[in-house]
Amino acid sequence: MREELEKVRSWANDKLSAGHEPPWAWFHYMKLRETLDQILAEMASTTTESSQQSDAHPGARLRLVGATHQPDTSQHHQLEPSLPLPM
């Protein structure tokens, strides 16, 4: 996928470099190139961060844990207010 995005960015750069495009098309090619640059940069940073995190904690995995409190010892809420409300 990265290679395909780089090909599209190269195509947009070629269109911009040629200088034969009308102003409205030039604007769209420029926005396309900026968007592709951002996407590719984010893909690179995501890949780097993911590999660094997995290298730092090779055996770390999420695990399920049991409840830390007993359901019988929890405080119960009062159903009716203690103050009389005006009617």
> Domain spans of the chain?
1-14+22-41
* pLDDT value for 65: 74
* Dist CA 11 CA 6 (whole Å): 9
What burial class does residue 16 get, using C-beta atoms within 10 Å of its C-beta: 0-12 exposed, 13-18 middle, 19+ buried? middle
Question: Stretch 57-76: mean pLDDT, rounded?
Answer: 68
The type of residue at 37 is D
CA 66 from chain centre, in angstroms, equals 30
How far is 31 from 27, CA to CA, in rounded Å? Answer: 6
Residue 83, pLDDT > 80, answer no
Task: Please write the tens of the pLDDT for every residue from 32-63.
Answer: 999 999 999 999 888 655 555 556 666 677 77
Q: Name the residue with higher pLDDT: 66 or 57.
A: 66
At 21 the pLDDT is: 86
Lowest mean pLDDT among 4-13, 21-30, 41-50: 41-50
C-alpha 50: how far from chain center: 13
Average pLDDT value over all residues in the chain: 79
The pTM assigned to this predicted structure is 0.50
